[in-house]
Chain A
Amino acid sequence: DAGVTQSPTHLIKTRGQQVTLRCSPKSGHDTVSWYQQALGQGPQFIFQYYEEEERQRGNFPDRFSGHQFPNYSSELNVNALLLGDSALYLCASSRLAYNEQFFGPGTRLTVL
Chain B
Amino acid sequence: DAKTTQPPSMDCAEGRAANLPCNHSTISGNEYVYWYRQIHSQGPQYIIHGLKNNETNEMASLIITEDRKSSTLILPHATLRDTAVYYCIVRVAGNTNAGKSTFGDGTTLTVKP
A interface residues with partner B (beta carbon < 8 Å)? 4, 31, 33, 35, 41-45, 48, 50, 55-56, 58, 88, 90, 92, 94, 96-106, 108
B94/A103 in contact, CB under 8 A? no
- Pick 24 A–B contacts, CB within 8 A, sort by A: A33-B101, A41-B105, A42-B85, A42-B87, A42-B104, A42-B106, A45-B100, A48-B99, A48-B100, A56-B99, A56-B100, A58-B100, A90-B43, A92-B44, A94-B98, A99-B32, A100-B46, A102-B46, A103-B44, A103-B45, A103-B46, A105-B43, A106-B42, A108-B41
Chain A residues within 8 Å of B85, by CB: 42
A94/B43 in contact, CB under 8 A? no
Q: What sequence of 0s and 1s flags, for each residue 24-36 of chain B, a beta carbon within 8 Å of any chain A beta carbon?
A: 0000000010101
CA–CA, A4 to B36, complex, Å?
16
Q: How many residues belonging to B are interface residues under a CB distance threshold of 8 Å?
A: 27
